[in-house]
Amino acid sequence: FVLDREEEVTIEKPKLWNIRGYGKPNLYKIKVSLISNGKVVETKTIKYGIRKVELKRSSVVKKGGKFEFHINGKKVFLLGSNWVPIEAIKHIDDERMLKTLDMLVDLNCNCIRVWGGGTYESDLFYEKCDELGILVWQDFMMGCAVYPQVEEFQNRLREEVVHIVKH
């Protein structure tokens, strides 16, 4: 179908993306084209998984405290590792990165924490994690230091948060 303005799309009975060990990591292929004067100007294809991720927590100090991840309404047990940049030069590490993610699968991992002192990874990294059913716990890159508390910095930080969360 064609949307000529912002419009909501409903998928009846969607096949949900699931974390490894809890079902298939179903992905939808979405193709978006920008058309001007009847001609396709730009086309982008993405894969997208529909899921609901919830963190249910209480005070971990109190007896009976909880810190639980629920995906699509199911409590999941996360098995994973921390991720730090494989190479300092980002554009040459794709092959190594893909092999390393495959090793996580061999270890039966279903989650990876991207460390806040590293870098944001490439689209390929996140796409491969989606395909493999690996949940990404994404730290913000400013997570490991003290930063200025001035309004200008907070505005820049807000822009980064919006960009990364959408990404």
Question: Which SS3 state, helix, strand or coil, does residue 81 take?
Answer: strand
The Cα 91–Cα 127 span in angstroms is 16
Q: How far is CA 7 from the centre of its chain?
A: 24
47: nearest Cα among 124, 104, 150: 124
Cα–Cα distances (Å) from 147 to 135, 143, 153, 164, in that order, read 28, 9, 8, 18
Which residue is it, tokens 């949900």? 16
pTM of the predicted model as reported, rounded to 2 decimal places: 0.82
pLDDT digits (tens, 9 = 90+) for 72-91: 999 999 999 999 888 766 66
pLDDT at 15: 97
* Structure tokens belonging to residue 144: 């490991």
Which residue is it, tokens 């997208």? 48
pLDDT at 50: 95
Mean pLDDT over the full length of the chain: 88
pLDDT at 75: 97
Which residues does residue 22 pair with via DSSP β-bridges, in sequence order?
Answer: none
